[in-house]
Structure 1
Amino acid sequence: MWSRCGRPVHLVDKNLVQLERASAEITKLRQTWPLASLPGDRSNTEWAKLTVTSPDGLGDALRQSWLAIECVPEMRPLKQSILQELDKLAPADVIVASNSSSFTISELLQGLELQFPDRFASIHSYWPPETTPVEIMGAETTRPEILQTLMTESAAHGFQPFLVRRSSTGYIYNRIWAAIKRETLQVLDEGVATPAEIDGLFKAVLQTPKGPCAQMDTVGLDVVLNIEEHYAEERPELPQGPRTYLEKMIAEGKLGVKSGEGFFKYD
């Protein structure tokens, strides 16, 4: 999505197999996505160059960039280690953002010794990747112009940006979606309905292509559990049933689409 306007993008991962899979998927998606219009209604004729690199090339990639986004799994120590490294390597004018779906940027910056704490923000995108909304949120230390730049540039790249006005675990949409996921899991844990019945009813009422069980399978049930555990840390009154239900499924190797089976089976 960030490469739709012809501006180059660097994809960095320590797993070379993941880089190869990502490149193939991006090539496939580019065949169906429209290119974004450039400012002033100028037409864009080609996709930007996509460079894939191991962490050895991270410093060079950062020196060529205006924005760095971490997209590692939803584990706070891991995310913090990446943000610390980005702050160390990135030039002072590079914005550093987290794509965390539940941790606020304020939480992630706690305890870190940073050179430039005022350049950090959260920018959360959705799945599938062609979903245009993104949510942008700052920390108490974030310079206001950083947020404005992210809002402006996101819109210029074909996104639909929404500003989170106060620090909020789960941003805006994911806080509401978390309640739907949690109640779905509670219904399953109580034996009130099956995944197929829940999703069938949900899709029929709201006219959506996927129900909550299929959505969780797409995200990955291990990731869903990580997010739920973080919400529970902040709100101890949340029921245990949904997390216990997820733990049983994960123990059986049912992680969703990526393992071939979650609430449903996949090829």
Structure 2
Amino acid sequence: MPGLSGLSAVTLLGAGTQGTRLAFMWSRLGRPVYLVDKNPTQLIRARQEIEQLRTNTPSLAEPTQWGEVICSPANDLTASLSKSWLVVECLPESLALKRSIMQQLGDQAGPGTIVASNSSSYDIVELMHGLKAKHPSNFVSLHSYWPPETPAIEIMGSTETNSKIISLLMEQTKAHGFDPFHVRRPSTGYIYNRIWAAIKRETLLALSEGVATPAEIDCIFKSVLKTPKGPCEQMDIVGLDVVLDIEKHYAELRPGLPEEPRKLLQEMIAQGKLGVKSGTGFFEHGTERKRA
């Protein structure tokens, strides 16, 4: 079965925010990490952020020796896979794109490599539907949030996944500073996002009905639950276009969900209101916030 025997590295496909932060986490025990991306500029930016995380994250005990993060162009993927016990795709939330890369990884990864998706909205059963993999028992969902600040990571297999892989990932993620949670049955939205989706949807529905303003909703949410952020600010941070894509996916799987939340998001996006990344969403976000 796949494992650490003879293979010490982890490969991360995609050097965006999640890929970069996961490279930081997986290099904490001195093992090499391959960070693969087709964009050289993105790889340079990722390396800089990893160094900042290593310098500015006192909450994690400093390791004896950091593992090397090897930033690689996409055409070097085969070489990195040959040295890796785990490969995680961290690409944008497009089902077609993710299925394409999972097929590629299934074709290229050997029997000793676990193939995982970091997708937040598509579970491994959906991603593997209709694909032909040489080692289907090696495929899992491995969904992380915002490490290291939010170290929760959800591990979900399919009916074909080798149960020993789940145990290994629970052990290894914990050793690397994550808080692992086993999703025991295939679940769109995993554990947390499934509950969070209901909060987002009711927030959007209340806004569409004129029940309260975004500021009022966030204030009462924080007052009752003592959280640092409310749902409207959280959606601005995620990006309202991403929130809409996720809502559309839930609506495809669960007929009968109200349309008003999706309509509100579509109207805001049409006005260029995407949240933090555009400078305005439910709230105004200045230059400093956008850069952060």
Q: Is TM-score (shorter-chain normalized) higher than 0.5?
A: yes
Say which of 123, 126, 136 aligns to 1:107.
126
How far apart are 1:129 and its partner, in Å?
4.1
Task: State the partner residue of 1:239.
Answer: 258
Of 86, 90, 95, the residue aligned with 1:76 is 95
Counterpart amino acid of residue 18 in structure 1: Q
Partners of 1:96 and 1:215 in 2: how far apart?
30
Contact 1:36 1:157 in 2 (8 A): no
SS at match of 1:5: coil
1:223 Cα deviation from its structure 2 partner: 1.2
Inter-partner Cα distance in structure 1 for 2:148 and 2:242: 17
C-alpha distance in 2, partners of 1:226/1:3?
A: 32
Deviant stretches of 4+, over 6 Å: none
> Is the 8 Å Cα contact of residues 101 and 170 (structure 1) preserved in structure 2?
yes
Q: How many Å separate the matches in 2 of 1:226 and 1:124?
A: 17
Deviates more, 1:99-108 or 1:253-262: 253-262
Give the structure 2 partner of residue 40 of structure 1: none
1:164-209 superposed Cα distances (whole Å, 9 cap, x missing partner): 1111111111110000011111111112122122112211211111
- Alpha-carbon offset, residue 138 of structure 1: 0.2
Question: 2:283 and 2:232 mapped to 1: Cα distance?
Answer: 8
CA drift of 1:262 comes to 1.8
2: distance between equivalents of 1:28 and 1:210?
24
For 2:96 and 2:39, how far apart are their aligned partners in 1?
19
Name the residue aligned to 1:3.
27
Matched, 1:152 2:171: yes
- 1:20 to 1:252, Cα distance in 2 relative to 1, 3 A: farther
TM-score normalised by structure 1 residue count: 0.93
- In structure 1, list runs of 5 or more residues that go unmatched: 38-42
Report the counterpart of residue 162 of structure 1 in structure 2: 181
1-side partners of 2:82 and 2:58: how far apart? Answer: 29
Give the secondary structure class of the aligned counterpart of 1:66. Answer: strand
- Equivalent residue, structure 2, for 1:223: 242
Q: Which moved more, 1:230-239 or 1:216-225?
A: 216-225
Q: Secondary structure at the match of 1:136?
A: strand
Contact 1:104 1:167 in 2 (8 A): yes
Report the 3-state secondary structure (helix = DSSP H, G, I; strand = E; otherwise coil) of the residue aligned with 2:177: coil
AA paired with 2:221? F
SS of 1:111's equivalent in the other structure is: coil
Match of 2:50 in 1: 26
What TM-score, normalized by structure 2, do the two folds share? 0.85
Look up the match of 2:114.
Answer: 95
Q: 1:145 to 1:238 in 2, by over 3 A?
A: same
Change (3 A) 1:16 1:45: same
Aligned-pair CA distance for 1:128: 5.2
Give RMSD over aligned pairs: 1.6
Shift of 1:35: 8.0
Corresponding residue for residue 104 of structure 2:
85
Task: Say whether 1:52 aligns with 2:76.
Answer: no
Equivalent position amino acid for 1:195 in 2: P
Distance across 2 between alignment mates of 1:85 and 1:141: 19
Match of residue 14 from structure 1: 38
TM-superposed CA distance for 1:44, in Å, is 2.6
1:26 to partner: Cα distance: 2.0
> Paired residue for 1:213?
232
Q: How far apart, CA to CA, are the structure 2 residues paired with 1:130 and 1:60? A: 32
Structure 1 residue 18, shift from structure 2 partner: 2.4
Task: Report the 3-state secondary structure (helix = DSSP H, G, I; strand = E; otherwise coil) of the residue aligned with 1:67.
Answer: strand
Contact 1:35 1:45 in 2 (8 A): no
**Does the CA-based 8 Å contact 1:5-1:35 persist in structure 2?**
no
Q: Unpaired runs of 5+ in structure 2?
A: 1-24, 288-292
User: Cα–Cα, structure 1 residues 211 and 58, in superposed 2: closer, same or farther, change >3 Å?
Assistant: same
